[in-house]
Chain A
Amino acid sequence: MKQVVATMAGNVWKIVVTVGEQVEEGQDVVILESMKMEIPIAAEANGTVQEIHVQEGDFVNEGDVLLTLE
């Protein structure tokens, strides 16, 4: 089980994957918005999206878990 965490504080602007979806290492899964800039967050490993812990519009801090991969 792998977690995808926020690399910086910001708002969750877009969640580009859904639960059950197959993702590859390096693929953007969530886009944060911080200081008026889009920050794509990529999966660090291959896997299936097991759970999404945030919603679009949520505020997250650096290190917060965004989603869990199986």
Chain B
Amino acid sequence: MFKKLLIANRGEIAARVIRTCKKLGIQTVAVYSEADADSLHVKWADEAFLIGKPRVSESYLNIEKMIEIAKETKAEAIHPGYGLLSENPTFARRCEEEGIVFIGPNANVIASMGSKIEARKTMAEAGIPIVPGISFPLQDVEEAVKTAETIGYPIMLKASAGGGGIGMQIVRNEEELRKAFEGNQKRAASFFGDGAMYLEKYIENPRHIEIQLLADHHGNCVYLWERECSIQRRHQKVIEEAPSPFLDEETRRNMGEAAVRAAKYIGYTNAGTIEFLVDEQKNFYFLEMNTRLQVEHPVTEEVTGIDLVEEQLRVAAGERLGYTQQDIQRNGHAIEVRIYAEDPKTFFPSPGTITAFQLPEGEGVRNETAVTSGIAVTPFYDPMIAKLITKGNTREEAIARMVQAISHYQVEGIKTNIPMLKEVLNHPAFQAGHTTTNFISTHLYKQSAK
């Protein structure tokens, strides 16, 4: 096992990784920007280095700076967390070149899943069901219109390099497609430096259900069941749970086995997640693969009893998985809510200083955060400031604990989405398990924000 690990990330996920390192006796090196000096991940690490100005391009995305600090501190491995450099094949390759272990799959695998168009092609080859659509980038809007006619509306227009819902739009006719194409192409070019667009059939009332995978370097690969992440706003997840209230055992097993087949086909190693869309008839379609730890990984940890960060480190250190598929448990039900610094109705960000911050405690309650009272939430990063996870023997119990815990969650000085989370958790449709990706616009706000 490693003696020292650098965490090339910030906030709650950096703090989360440090906790597992402490458990395993691994020394930790944190990095931080000028905006994050007071973050808990800086306080918790054994060493911490200021790497630059607040903007990610001048700090957390600086590959050479990360390498330099890893070498200087003699860190043997780098954990990239999620977002930022976690799915950047250049970073993974630079680590490989410098003899630093990158906690994740190799650079080629990251690259192969990084382009959504390429990933679709590869998954189709592996025999994984994909949403009807195209496997090549569109040349222009005329080609988009022609292609849309053959697939049939409604269509989901997507940026190949997209993420976080940016560059994605549902279009229901030619007029909407023409309107949406150029704007999204420009947005994608500006955000991701790649304006390649493609389109696929839009599945009505879909659920977003993903499979957690773990694969070692000795040919072993297992699935750690599913997470349902259908409750979303702006195409980003807000509430996640395991198990899914929708799946039956047969579909669950079929999805898990398909995910393992896909992982083996591409030579995947370490922790990864295959996201599927599931339609009303329980048909599932490959959406994308995330070649990293997910934000919502704690719900899987709660129902399986497996520390995913620990497994990531063990696999990266060359250890074999300590169990087979048959050994993996699934106990009870876990729910996670993401606490965002944003207006609960418009979903517009709400940067500012947190004047009071109090976390709930209790049986089956877990908190993940790196903010404290007095900390400034800056406009430079994602609005997620914390995650709250509850576990119960049943879904009802997990929800009841969440409702109880969130009523004691105190964040003052900025707006948060807590009022919206409470509405969802208390909604009869959510409690009945009617969780589709358009839940918020259907049940909460008829006029959904962009």
- Chain A residues with CB under 8 Å of chain B are 8-11, 13, 34-39
Contact = CB atoms under 8 A, between A and B. Distances in A.
A8 B348 contact: yes
A11 B191 CA distance: 13
B381 interface: yes
Nearest to A33: B379
Interface of B is mostly: loop
Contacts, number: 38
A36 B351 contact: no
B192 to A, nearest CB: 12
Interface of B: 55, 164, 166, 187, 190, 234, 341-342, 348-351, 378-383
Contacts of A10: 349, 351, 379
B348 A36 contact: no
Interface of A is mostly: strand
A67 to B, nearest CB: 20
A8 B349 CA distance: 8
Given A8-B350, A39-B348, 6 more contacts: A8-B379, A9-B351, A9-B378, A10-B351, A10-B379, A35-B382
Contact of B383 (A9, A11, A13, A35): A35
Contacts of A8: 348-351, 379
18 contacts: A8-B348, A8-B350, A8-B379, A9-B379, A10-B349, A10-B351, A11-B379, A13-B190, A34-B351, A35-B349, A35-B351, A35-B379, A35-B381, A36-B164, A36-B382, A36-B383, A37-B349, A39-B349
The 10 closest A-B pairs by CB, nearest first: A35-B349, A34-B379, A35-B383, A10-B379, A9-B379, A34-B349, A9-B351, A36-B382, A35-B379, A37-B349
A22 B203 CA distance: 42
A69 B216 CA distance: 62
Contacts of B341: 35
A66 to B, nearest CB: 15
Nearest to B342: A35
Contacts of B348: 8, 37, 39
A52 B442 CA distance: 41
Contacts of A11: 55, 379
A35 B351 CA distance: 8
Contacts of B234: 37
A39 B383 CA distance: 14
Contacts of B351: 8-10, 34-35
Most buried by B among A13, A34, A38, A39: A34
Contacts of B350: 8
Contacts of B349: 8, 10, 34-35, 37, 39
